[in-house]
Structure 1
Amino acid sequence: MTSLDAVAVSALKNYDFSPNTAVTLTNVSENVTYRVDDRGTGRSAALRIHRLNYHSKAAIESELCWMDALREDGVVAPPRPMTTRDGARIVTVDDDRGLARHVVLFEWLPGHTPTVEGDLVPSFRVLGTLAAKMHSHGSMWQPPASFDRYTCNYNTALGLKAMWGRWQEGLGIGRSERKLLSRLDTEVGKRLVGYGAGRDRFGLAHNDLRLANLLVDGDHIHVIDFDDCGYSWYMYDFAASVSFIEDDTRVPDWMSAWLDGYTSHRPLSKVDIEIIPTLIMFRRLLLVGWVGSRHEYADEAAKLGTGFTSVTCDLAEAYLTGVYLM
């Protein structure tokens, strides 16, 4: 049993599960996720162990708070957090190093995640619709005074203390890559300053609304993984939707579908649409830093490797010469 396996088992003692309960690791990324199956009762759940030095307990409770509001207001259907016997939604357990790990247990939702194969136009139209609904809700919702979520902007994503790792320390960054991506960084920063962060274009959003974070169960669509929710540019949600596949030749079609879904519920200006390629490059640079800082333990980052930086350089050339998404 690993240290985090032990954390998961210890956390479950706070809930009413039978002794015949299995805990299975399902994903290692920013957080570590387990599937919990109680063979005695037939109940299942998703247990999330938060990574160290990322979100505070107050920030995690704020995430759950917005999820509650979205569900109660009928905007989207995120999973419900399960409470302990004492009514708590966050359990804190020390790992084998004595470090406090925050744990949340969610109901296990049925459904499947759409794949990146086949015709994705309908799926991206759905993503756009969901994004618009959540943006409208977030712009009007009055959070409690204790609400505490981060802001994703140039400084927090690409600055000296980038939350997801600095792209300059990404894999495969040599002299030529650094020079090209520095040009990209400068141009992206300049255009984002020009675009601004007014209330009509910057606010509370999911910030990781991609196909991997949808569960489709017949006519029901659940949005999951609000771990990155916070304040950012609304159009950043499209950039997030094409994470890791920004070089796919179908991106223009997906963007058209996403915008079709979005504008059916929330208006956009020409400037809003024109900033999308810049936000895609902003996200891509962020992900270069993420791969570099997470590849030793996150499977997805490890698989991307140095090739992710190489493709990023190709995208940077296309963007800087004005041909990306043209």
Structure 2
Amino acid sequence: MVTADPSAAVIRLVREALPRFGFAADPQLSLLKQRENSVFAFTADGRRYVARVHRRGYHSDAELACEVAFVRALRDAGVAVPDFLAANDGRGFAVVGSDHRDEPHQVDVQRFLDNHGTFGSEETGVDGTARIDPADFADLGRLVAQAHDATVRCGYRMAVPRADWDTEGLVGASPAWGDPLRIAELTGRGRDDIVAALPRLREQLEAYGTPDDRFGPIHADLTPENVLRTDHGLVLIDFDDFAAGWHLFDLATALHFYAPHPRFAEYRDALFAGYASVRPLDDRDYAVFPAMLLARSLTYLGWAADRRGEPTAEWLVSDVLPHTVRLARAVNTASTTPTSSGARA
């Protein structure tokens, strides 16, 4: 039985995968999320679990194994992240659906995290209606810093390279998430502002550099919907876009959809303060952050450019594009000289 109406083909993939993890194939499935991945909850032996069907072709088996290994390393270090179950072959996922019309798919199973919902939503951040306590952003900053600190301390290295969120991936000739300049609505002064900002972004990111204390494996999709609120605190979920990138990129992602919010400065300062309580930030971090925020915003427009007609893509163009232009104007007019103290932006 399924309590929502995803495609029958996706349901079959879940049912084929569950025995690989020692479960019966026929539990009641409850659809939690269906965007690029399909995520279901189910109960077995009195415990709740989550099965995630990965979108076809996004990652190779080796790349997904690298993601699972990273999350397990963070968990072993005490960071609040999901708990992946091992399939009968020892891997953290199963490959099923050899007869599926779109070829085989990867399915993983995790222990269900009892929660009170997500940290927030992208929409309420952008439209200014979010009612989040700045203290929550401080908690989020500490959690992100713990993840970065654990990665640096344990010397974790990705066994399989995954697309880097580096200068080329963000503002190179072929950005990792697509070219934002392909959006037809980006015209006139707004387009000029973004075009003018691109070389500034490249210059600032290259000058910032990629030492280990700034650049390494990161979550890379730390949106408010990928952070759960639980009785034990915040938990980072959905490492689907995990790859090498700047630590500040995670902070930029956490703040991006709140940049138009009237309490943005409070949220930013709280996030930075929480982060700095675990991992110190210096003047160069603060100085480059507006550029990092713009680089993150451009990735969403690039993503939308390749998915026109989808609701999320259309929302990004209608509601987020003007915000991206404002970020570009700020980068174009700001001094690149670091100031001396505080959570500068």
Q: TM-score range by the shorter chain?
A: 0.7 to 0.9
Q: 1:18 to 1:101 in 2, by over 3 A?
A: closer
Aligned to 1:91: 94
Deviation at 1:2, TM superposition (A): 4.3
Give TM-score, length-normalised by structure 2: 0.83
Pick one of 1, 11, 18 that aligns with 2:17.
11
Distance 1:285 1:145, change over 3 A: closer
Q: Using the TM superposition, give the Cα deviation of residue 244 of structure 1 relative to its aligned residue in structure 2, in angstroms.
A: 2.8
Distance 1:310 1:259, change over 3 A: closer
Q: Distance in 2 between matches of 1:145 and 1:135?
A: 14
Report the AA paired with residue 222 of structure 1: V
> Pick from 214, 217, 228: which aligns with 2:230?
217
Tell me which residue corresponds to 2:284.
271
Residue from 50, 53, 72 that aligns with 1:49: 53
Moved more, 3-12 or 268-277: 3-12
Say which of 311, 316, 319 aligns to 2:323. Answer: 311
Distance change (3 Å), C-alpha of 1:160 and 1:132 = same
What residue number does 1:245 align with?
A: 258
Q: 1:143 aligns with which of 128, 151, 156?
A: 156
Cα deviation for residue 269 of structure 1 reads 1.3
SS in 1 for 2:228: strand
> Which residue of the partner structure matches residue 111 of structure 1?
115
Task: Name the CA shift for 1:201/1:19 in 2 (closer, same or farther; >3 Å).
Answer: closer
Given the superposition, is the C-alpha separation of residues 134 and 50 from structure 1 closer, same or farther in structure 2, using an over 3 Å criterion?
A: same
The one-letter amino acid paired with 2:14 is A
Structure 1, 56-65 or 312-321: larger mean CA deviation: 312-321
The CA deviation at 1:19 is 5.4
SS at match of 1:99: coil
> Match of 1:163, as an amino acid?
A
Q: Is the 8 A contact 1:158 1:167 kept in 2?
A: no
- 3-state SS in 1 of match to 2:280: coil
CA distance in 1, matches of 2:319, 2:193: 16
Q: Judging changes above 3 Å, is the alpha-carbon distance between structure 1 residues 188 and 134 closer, same or farther for their aligned structure 2 residues?
A: same
Task: Give the aligned partner of residue 24 of structure 1.
Answer: 30
Does the alignment pair 1:229 with 2:242? yes
Indicate the SS of the match to 1:71: helix
The answer to whether the 8 Å contact 1:23/1:34 transfers is no
Matched residue of 1:21: which SS? coil
Q: Deviations over 1:53-87 (max 9, x none)?
A: 3322112111111211111121x121111223444
Q: Is there any run of 5+ residues in structure 2 with no aligned partner, and where? A: 1-6, 336-343
Conservation of the 8 A alpha-carbon contact between 1:172 and 1:310: no
* Secondary structure of 1:122's aligned partner: helix
8 A Cα contact 1:18 1:41, kept in partner:
no
Distance 2:105 2:258 in 1: 32
Structure 2 equivalent of residue 300 of structure 1: 312
Paired amino acid for 2:91 = A
Amino acid at match of 1:81: F
Q: 1:98 deviation in Å? A: 4.4
Q: How far, CA to CA, are the matches of 1:266 and 1:110 in structure 2?
A: 29
CA distance in 2, matches of 1:197, 1:19: 46
* Residue 73 (structure 1) aligned with residue 77 (structure 2): yes
Amino acid across the alignment from 1:89: G
Give, in whole Å, the separation in 1 of the partners of 2:158 and 2:250: 25
Q: Aligned partners of 2:17 and 2:295: how far apart in 1?
A: 37
Q: CA deviation at 1:276?
A: 0.8
The CA RMSD over aligned residues, in Å, is 2.5
Runs of 5+ consecutive residues of structure 1 not aligned to the other structure? none
Please say if residues 307 and 313 of structure 2, whose CA atoms lie closer than 8 Å, have aligned partners that are also in contact.
yes
What's 2:106 paired with? 102
What is the TM-score when the length of structure 1 is the normalising length?
0.87
Mean CA deviation greater in 83-92 or 197-206: 83-92
CA shift at 1:13, angstroms? 4.0
Q: CA deviation at 1:164?
A: 1.6
Equivalents in 1 of 2:26, 2:16: separation in Å? 15
Cα contact 1:58–1:148 (8 A) shared by 2: no
Q: Secondary structure at the match of 2:28?
A: strand
1:27 Cα shift?
Answer: 2.4
Change (3 A) 1:238 1:141: same
Secondary structure at 1:215's aligned position in 2?
Answer: strand
Which stretch has the larger CA shift, 80-89 or 151-160?
A: 80-89
Percent identity of equivalent pairs? 26
